[in-house]
Structure 1
């Protein structure tokens, strides 16, 4: 009879401990997720600082600073482009043929399954095409200009 009481008491202790450990594990996972986000933010800030070191031309429109993407013929090389635009251009150049925005987004680490995440990238690629850095084909894919 005494053994059953001990087993019941011990099981209760272990259930309590399991509950505490589960809660602690959830807290650790939540903090880890926050650190992943913080790391992404720091990486983006570092990229922006690098891009600002290159000092792309910007102007004020309606009180906001807006980067100017120069026309290809107006500058000697792509060094005048902001860092993220240079990275997009490099990915398109490395491709064997025409690329979709989704592929470039995946290479940049964007969540390509969410269409809204790709739209800002599509706008940047279109701007590069409008300025002569890329060629936008009729099917919506992009190629690098020679």
Structure 2
């Protein structure tokens, strides 16, 4: 299936929208501006403000989610994993998340 010019400009195919978490760029300031405001920036700010690695539950508490209900945390976990897959965060072996500069 061929992708049209408009779809190529938008970064999507005719089947749906582009992935909302873009790849991290090497220029930190420019890359942070390209991060969508749909919660991703707030998640990144919370993890950066933490002293060390954070659990999804702690980020959920900061965002005001019902952390006692597992179904409320799963979308947040998916967003944080997506940020880690794209290079914005680092997911440790114990399931906690850190910024790329924190080890």
TM category, shorter: 0.7 to 0.9
State the shift of 1:68 in Å.
3.3
How many residues align? The count is: 89
| Unmatched 5+ stretches in structure 1 | 1-56
- Report whether the alignment pairs 1:108 with 2:63: yes
TM-score (norm 1): 0.55
- 8 Å contact 1:100–1:140 — kept in the other structure? yes
TM-score (norm 2): 0.77
Whose Rg is larger?
1
Q: 1:139 aligns with which of 86, 94, 97?
A: 94
Cα-Cα RMSD: 1.9
Report the counterpart of residue 33 of structure 2 in structure 1: 79
Structure scoring higher RCO (CA < 8 A, sep ≥ 6) equals: 2
Q: Which runs of 4+ in 1 moved over 3 A?
A: none
**Structure ranking higher in helix proportion:** 1
